[in-house]
Structure 1
């Protein structure tokens, strides 16, 4: 089964979507599928690449730098060509906020290729955001299935009129080779000067929407109960 994994964000972009796309593609390949990641090209990148054994196609076209979103008719034509001629059995759009992912759903619908779209996050509750989400929802409804990483994301799209039978909640998985309490972490503890003190750690993108301030504020209460506990926050932003 050939699967087109389409989205605007992929390595070296940072964030959850690139890691999700890579992790899911790697897992699908182990199951015998043939995932192909299709994204837009940054300056200096080759059009065809391979990352961790997964084929990556980087399409050229205009990208809005501050949004990291492709808005190029030329790129749209290239994406259509790939989906039309490369024998894909399924199209998987990565993130409802991605112009390339949404375009892939439109193109898949036109070509009668089964499609699924992942909702990685929500920008806020409905209300003022309804104006933003309403046109997106018109495209979302064309997908054969919607994957929501949380119940909040599922409820958002059901509230916008997407059939509840279309929306399935599949939380993000964890790579136990990277995040495993049984792995010896003494080297990094020594590097950070933590020793054997209790440790709370998180790896996130350091932006307001991820809420790191709530963890920092709440940690005062943890310190009251466990005075020698340490907090480690890893990420960029």
Structure 2
């Protein structure tokens, strides 16, 4: 299979950081560089970033890229200039509306990718119509997994549902590894050799750090030497610091550089993020890459039951899924893992093996290449 020269259309591209940006960057950098050209959102620092890339990037001159006629003309002109024969819309809503114009330019498949926030689009009337139109216009619409497929599919026509394909993100198995040393992070925060529960995520209510903090007295009653390491920044930071006030066994690190994330995972013995759905199901977890990154580092995980998060855990084998709002169940599973280190390590080994088998970036890129190479 030879990948046709492909136009990538996206708002979500570095140097801006975020989950979708990381997904798109990881995929594009693994595609053959002579087969890729990117049309992306303009942003501060983009020229310096683009100079280091082995493929061409054209930046939209007015910042955010919208599905409007001027963008359709610019993207189509770039595709024709570069001899593109396929297009990847790296975030389906709303740029997937440009699929008909892109198909005329490339005379080949147009693939659009959803990342989880489209679940919200699928449940709000006006946005739902946009998502349905996207599904009707593309050749393939990708979803993270079964849960997001069902949620997004509810907004699509029968034809749109037939175009759904799974395209889950991958894990960098070299960066996130059981061989990473978390000793420097432990030393920095005075954790020594205590059993540590770690949570790496944005500090927002949906992620469930508050549930962990409310569960923490029960954990300490059973495992008095335990420590809780909350890694990340976000809008909920001040409230969480209030909940942790006076608890010397809890550390909030604040934001940390991306390059240091693996050693923060490695500083833990158990990973826990009891995420929960909010706002009548409009705010949900699409998948939860942090569970897979933790598993890749050899940690057992405790995950909440929001949205597609359970798909990132083999319950009872690589960790546990708990009701995200349940303080008692969260505490019970964390205690269970801390009290039986050998079982916890066995779950961590099983998690690493599962990620190697099913969640590599190479697997993800291969699936996308197959969709972009398909001819009707």
TM-score under structure 1 normalisation? 0.78
Query: C-alpha distance in 1, partners of 2:55/2:122?
Result: 40
What's the CA shift string for 1:129-186, capped at 9, x where partnerless?
A: 1321212321232111111013232112321224433212232211123322321121
Matched, 1:189 2:181: no
Between 1:119-128 and 1:147-156, the stretch displaced more is 119-128
Match of 1:16 among 16, 19, 30: 19
Contiguous gaps of at least 5 residues in structure 1: none
Higher relative contact order (CA 8 A, sep 6+): 2
Q: Any conservation in 1 of the 2:34–2:55 contact (CA below 8 Å)? A: no
1:79 aligns with 75
Matched, 1:120 2:115: yes
Identify, as 1 or 2, the structure richer in helix.
2
Query: C-alpha distance in 1, partners of 2:38/2:234?
Result: 24
Q: Any conservation in 2 of the 1:47–1:57 contact (CA below 8 Å)? A: no
Q: Any conservation in 1 of the 2:122–2:155 contact (CA below 8 Å)? A: no
1:161 aligns with 156
Query: C-alpha distance in 2, partners of 1:127/1:14?
Result: 25
Q: Any conservation in 2 of the 1:10–1:18 contact (CA below 8 Å)? A: yes
Query: C-alpha distance in 1, partners of 2:138/2:68?
Result: 22
Q: Any conservation in 1 of the 2:112–2:141 contact (CA below 8 Å)? A: yes
1:110 aligns with 104
The alpha-carbon distance between structure 1 residues 160 and 232, as it changes in their structure 2 partners (threshold 3 A), is: same
Query: C-alpha distance in 2, partners of 1:235/1:83?
Result: 39
1:198 aligns with 195
SS at match of 1:147: strand
* Greater Rg by CA: 2
User: What pairs with 1:12-91 in structure 2 (closer than 5 Å)?
Assistant: 12-29=15-32, 34-43=35-44, 45-46=46-47, 49-61=50-62, 63=63, 68-70=64-66, 73-91=69-87
Query: C-alpha distance in 2, partners of 1:55/1:206?
Result: 35
The alpha-carbon distance between structure 1 residues 48 and 141, as it changes in their structure 2 partners (threshold 3 A), is: farther
Query: C-alpha distance in 2, partners of 1:200/1:109?
Result: 49
Query: C-alpha distance in 2, partners of 1:234/1:156?
Result: 29
TM-score under structure 2 normalisation? 0.52
Q: Any conservation in 2 of the 1:10–1:21 contact (CA below 8 Å)? A: yes
- Please state how far the C-alpha of 1:188 moved relative to its aligned partner: 2.4
The alpha-carbon distance between structure 1 residues 45 and 11, as it changes in their structure 2 partners (threshold 3 A), is: closer
Identify, as 1 or 2, the structure richer in strand.
1
